[in-house]
Amino acid sequence: MLTGPGLSLRIEPERQRSTPWAIMLFIGYWLMFAAEFSIIRFYRGEDGRWVASTTEQPQMWLSLVVLTITILSLVGTIGFVISLWKQRRQTRLYWGDHDLNGNDVLHMVAWMHVFQTCTLLFYGLILEGTLFSEGTIGGAFESASFQLFLLMLIPFWFRGRVAEIGVCRPARLGQMIITLLIMFFLIAKVLDVAITNPLADWLGLSLSSEREQQIEKEIVQAKQTDMIAATSSFLVIGILVPIAEELLFRGVLQTYLVRRVGAVVGIILSSLWFALLHIDLALFVPLFVIGLGLGFVRHRYHSIWGAVLLHAVNNLSGVLYYFQ
């Protein structure tokens, strides 16, 4: 029912139709997250340091757990999509009539798990291997399919209110640029020397990263394929991935968490999630510290674009390094 000349407040009851399914998928997301970490094993490298590696053959009980979660998540996905489809007309009408809330975050994570479930089923049951070869244009976009999904989902979900998640002009632009230059210098020259390497030495942990090795391999193969493939790799890793990840972590998650628990705790929690999402224990500390810096920039200047720029420059510097 409409209330006055503005839009209706019916959006919350309408959206709640999908909330039970979103809760189910939210739980499934974190269970699958825990399962991914449970297949990480440590072994002693030649230098005596602990190397984190993902096992290719998980234990039978874990495989059964993942299968059970996947089946239940498929049921949840069907119910979730159907419930949203039924309320599509009301959603179109009342989409931008409320502030970012916990239900938005719940639905974002639910959609992330929908993508995770569909990907697992597609690559596990239908396709053996990948759609495209490494080093090709298709391979570059396929490797970042999750981030590309976020690039479509988040602007669509928050259409009419993207400024609320930081898609707006930064405050104090000149000051922000100076801050970004200082932070990039600290990341490039100080982070490893002052934090990452000393902590790895103390823990006896190798900084050899399977994820980084795979990224390097893809970039080198793209360079060897042709200029178009190399440009695609540059575009995806250096530009599209930073935009997508900042929309999610500094745009949606940090905005909500800061409102709920304050700036310090909100930035820490969103940075922790950001670092954990990469499933890379070797680089967890630098990812977490960089996340803190990105979170500070987003909060200080009331926009995600400073964080996007810093994230993009950091990624692009890595891409250029691998190209050489």
Its pTM stands at: 0.89
Domains: count for the chain: 2
Pull the structure tokens for residue 128: 């053996």
Query: Given 98, 129, 160, which residue is the final one in a domain?
Result: 129
Does 110 lie in the same domain as 160?
Answer: no
Does 8 lie in the same domain as 59?
Answer: yes
Does 124 lie in the same domain as 160?
Answer: no
Q: 156-168, pLDDT tens digit by residue?
A: 999 989 999 999 9
Query: Given 60, 95, 129, which residue is the final one in a domain?
Result: 129
Does 4 lie in the same domain as 99?
Answer: yes
DSSP helix/strand/coil, 146: helix
- Average pLDDT for residues 130-155, to the nearest whole number? 91
Q: 182-239, pLDDT tens digit by residue?
A: 999 999 999 999 999 999 898 888 888 888 888 888 888 888 888 888 888 889 999 9
Structural domain includes residue 83: yes
Q: Which residues constitute the domain of residue 321?
A: 152-324
Does 280 lie in the same domain as 172?
Answer: yes
Structural domain includes residue 31: yes
Q: 34-83, pLDDT tens digit by residue?
A: 998 888 888 888 888 888 888 777 788 888 999 999 999 999 999 999 99
Does 167 lie in the same domain as 69?
Answer: no
- Average pLDDT for residues 103-131, to the nearest whole number? 91
Structural domain includes residue 76: yes
Cβ–Cβ under 8 Å, residues 154 and 167: no
Residue 91 has pLDDT above 70, yes or no: no
- Average pLDDT for residues 303-309, to the nearest whole number? 97
CA separation for the pair 130, 270 (Å, rounded): 31
Does 210 lie in the same domain as 90?
Answer: no
Structural domain includes residue 137: no
Does 108 lie in the same domain as 199?
Answer: no
Structural domain includes residue 145: no
Structural domain includes residue 146: no
Does 158 lie in the same domain as 69?
Answer: no
Residue 213, C-beta contacts closer than 8 angstroms, at least 6 positions apart: none
Structural domain includes residue 311: yes
Does 201 lie in the same domain as 238?
Answer: yes
Query: How many of the other CB atoms lie within 10 Å of CB of 186?
Result: 14
Does 117 lie in the same domain as 265?
Answer: no
Structural domain includes residue 119: yes
Does 324 lie in the same domain as 287?
Answer: yes
